[in-house]
Amino acid sequence: MRFVVVTGMSGGGKSTALKMLEDAGFYCVDNLPVSLVEKFAELVSMPGSEVGKVALGLDVRSDQSFEDATKTLERLKSAGYKLEILFMDADESVLIKRYKETRRVHPLAMDKRVEDGVRIERRVLENIRHHADYVIDTSNLLTRELKEELDRIFVAGEGYNSLMVTVMSFGFKHGIPADADLVLDVRFLPNPFYIEELKCKTGNDREVQEYVLGFEEAGVFLDKLTDMIQFLIPNYVKEGKNRLVVAIGCTGGKHRSVTLSNELYKRMKDKGKYGCKLYHRDISQQGK
């Protein structure tokens, strides 16, 4: 029997993940009292049970301290249950924004601010996050992308991408992305905006791509950048990093940065034990 425990930060996507696992054929139970978890595991594992895949949601809303929950999971593992822990996470700023948008009260905030509740919860969950088999950061994940990642792990059995790499194009005139880990400036290349027939096109158009990549410097830049990122990725994974945002910027975020982001994404996609996605932040903005 496959037994998955879904936990993580409130607002990180636990409920969404459970719904997706349910659609994938898992028998799902959310927020079961900690005192009943061991009995539940015993019941679904009994000989003759028709339940083959179970997903159990656990979070800080439970009726006991979360320390009791982690001890319970340790006892189950010692008893021979093959538990997999899926930890759903997101940046603090994203969690706060989600709570404010839904006008919900954080379970640990009580009479304090949402920010205080988020920080308390992260401290409480620090240990179980460290021992999780899978950590998925939903800060920049679309619902479709989350489903693809869960299907990859729990349906197709293709393994877990411990690091999600986002290749992002942007325009400096619209501000540097706040969540960028690496920021690259490609304004050293000639700007297609000043060529009349290319002005209204973007780096997704063949004509712009041919112009930008026609410069030898563009190829050299891509080779050096790819080599650097491939060096960094295994070292980031070793240190427990689960998200890397590579932001490539030009003036307006429509031509050079889009072209080079597309090319970097092509080079990195499906090339290692990490996930990779592409995002053009400012491609629809007006101007150069």
pLDDT at 13 over 90: yes
The token pair that represents 282 in the structure block: 């400012």
Whether the CB-CB separation of 192 and 198 falls below 8 Å is answered with yes
**Alpha carbon of 197 to those of 193, 204, 249, 284: distances in Å?**
9, 15, 22, 18
Where are the domains positioned within the chain?
A: 2-154, 164-280
pLDDT at 71 over 90: no
- Find all residues with CB under 8 Å of 273, minimum gap 6, and list them: 159, 161, 162, 163, 237
Q: Residue 183's beta-bridge partner residues?
A: 247
Determine which of 62-71, 84-93, 112-121, 158-167 has the lowest per-residue pLDDT on average: 62-71
Quick one: fold of 2-154?
Answer: Rossmann fold (3.40.50)
Q: Vertex 21, ends 15 and 23: CA angle to 5°? A: 105
Per-residue pLDDT at 173: 95
Residue 63: pLDDT band (50, 70, 90) is very low
Determine which of 13-17, 62-66, 86-90, 262-266 has the lowest per-residue pLDDT on average: 62-66
Per DSSP, the three-state class of 59 is coil
Query: What is this structure's pTM?
Result: 0.67
- Tens of pLDDT, residue by residue over 177-190, are 988 999 999 999 99
Say how many residues make up the chain.
288
Rounded-to-integer distance, Cα 106 and Cα 125, Å: 15
pLDDT at 264 over 70: yes
Rounded-to-integer distance, Cα 43 and Cα 36, Å: 11
Per-residue pLDDT at 106: 78
| Across 168-182, average pLDDT | 94
pLDDT at 253 over 60: yes
pLDDT at 158 over 80: no
Percent of the chain with pLDDT over 70: 94
Rounded-to-integer distance, Cα 272 and Cα 204, Å: 25
Residue 131: pLDDT band (50, 70, 90) is confident
- Tens of pLDDT, residue by residue over 92-115, are 989 988 888 877 777 777 777 888
